[in-house]
Amino acid sequence: MDELIVLLLFCRVVCPVLHSLEYFYITSCQVPNFPEFVVVGLVDDVQMFHYDSNTQRAEPKQAWMSKVTADDPEYWESQTAVCVDKETLQRSNIETAKQRFNQTGGVHVSQQMFGCEWDDETGDIKGFHQSGYDGEDFLVLDLQTLTWIAPVPQAVLTKHRLDPNTAHSERWKRYLTKDCVHWLKKYLDYGKNILNRTILPSVYLLQKSPSSPLSCYATGFYPNRAQMFWIRDGEEVHEGVEPGQILPNHDGSFQKSVDLDISSIRAEDWQTYKCVFQLSGVKEPKVTVLDHKRIRTNWGRPRPDDGEFPAGRVMGGIAVLLILVVCIVAFYRWRRNHHGEGHRCVQHLDYMKTGGI
């Protein structure tokens, strides 16, 4: 492998390996074919917990989550009870939000995201809690000051009500920095055989139209800790490059793309451009040379020796529920990353029982 690529990867892959436990509460109104209340739980971005108002049952999404009942036989019953209780509160909250925003009807979505990150090398822990309404931040907990940040005027009333309730904020801090990590470690142990696996992706060059950017698309990889970028003559390309977020596939694997504007690249220079995909824990990256013969388009047939494009992996998850949940989860993770910002099992979902909007 090119020594320049090795050096570039060494300079890029210096971030710590983090494990995470996240929960999302998604409450909606007037969204066709979508439950009014959904709870999604993820370990290292792999969904392992689900509840919705249609089934009214907390259920495992991974086979290894069945191990949790060995420690607590009533785990799923208790989680169902908490989710039913939360459903009532969140339905009330979204109605309050509509009043605050002077809305009488239409489609609206309220979101809450909370959880923790744990670095298993350094032991560093980070907790987070934020809520949003119709795609905008609504309320964020500052764990340093134990106060609530109100990004919009409609949330100020909630901030003024919650700030004096220090016991409530302390409970959140204890959960986010201690109990959450306790459960994260348990779940990581339950699913270690699956969560510790390594799967390399299939990589494709895709283009929607002759004038569209070229997308280097990797799908089917695991874990989600990966780097992907374009280089030219061993140097990373920044101009005309648009990286995408790592997103989950319906089968538990992940996908990522990085676009390159090829409109100004001369034909004789194409071979100097390479798409590099590096999966954490794998020594050798996957390098794809920019070659017009490998590009799959909407207006031309792919070369038969390119293999079959895995449409099932990408399209199999196209159900309204999955698409909306995935988009909300990905969006709020992006917002959190870019704006910096023991107990019975029932308690790790129970800290939001007090309060409301």
Q: What is the CATH number of the domain that holds 289?
A: 3.30.500.10
Place of tokens 């060494």: 10
Domain count, the chain: 1
Tally of CB atoms within 10 A around 128? 21
* Consecutive H or E run containing 288: strand 286-289
* Cβ-contact 236, 28 below 8 angstroms: no
Q: What is the mean pLDDT of residues 146-172?
A: 96
Residue 13 identity (one-letter amino acid): V
Looking at the predicted structure, is the pLDDT value of residue 213 above 50? yes
For the chain, percent of residues with pLDDT exceeding 90: 65
How confident is the model at residue 227, as a pLDDT?
A: 93
How confident is the model at residue 325, as a pLDDT?
A: 62
Instruction: Calculate the alpha carbon distances from 314 to 62, 84, 143, 247, 256 in Å.
Output: 20, 32, 38, 11, 11
- Tens-digit pLDDT profile for residues 302-354: 544 445 555 444 433 334 455 556 556 655 555 555 544 433 333 344 443 33
- The separation between CA 145 and the C-alpha centre of its own chain, rounded to angstroms, equals 27
Looking at the predicted structure, is the pLDDT value of residue 301 above 70? no
Q: What angle do CA 113, 21, 96 make, to 5 degrees?
A: 15
How confident is the model at residue 354, as a pLDDT?
A: 39
Domain coverage including residue 319:
1-357
Does residue 334 sit in helix, strand or coil?
helix
* Cβ-contact 58, 68 below 8 angstroms: no
Write the CB contacts of 193 (distance below 8 Å, at least 6 apart in sequence).
64
Distance CA 108, CA 34 (A): 12
Distance CA 323, CA 247 (A): 11
Nearest Cα to Cα of residue 250 among 188, 311, 185: 311
How confident is the model at residue 322, as a pLDDT?
A: 53
- Tens-digit pLDDT profile for residues 37-61: 999 999 998 899 999 999 999 999 9
* Cβ-contact 86, 39 below 8 angstroms: yes
Looking at the predicted structure, is the pLDDT value of residue 281 above 90? no
Place of tokens 């070369």: 303
Distance CA 31, CA 27 (A): 10
* Cβ-contact 134, 140 below 8 angstroms: no
Distance CA 147, CA 140 (A): 9
Q: Is the dihedral of CA 180, 14, 226, 256 positive or negative?
A: positive
What does the mean pLDDT of the chain come to?
84
* Cβ-contact 38, 57 below 8 angstroms: no
Looking at the predicted structure, is the pLDDT value of residue 137 above 50? yes
The number of residues in the chain equals 357
* Cβ-contact 357, 97 below 8 angstroms: yes
- Tens-digit pLDDT profile for residues 228-260: 999 999 899 999 999 998 988 878 889 999 999
Looking at the predicted structure, is the pLDDT value of residue 297 above 90? no
How confident is the model at residue 210, as a pLDDT?
A: 87
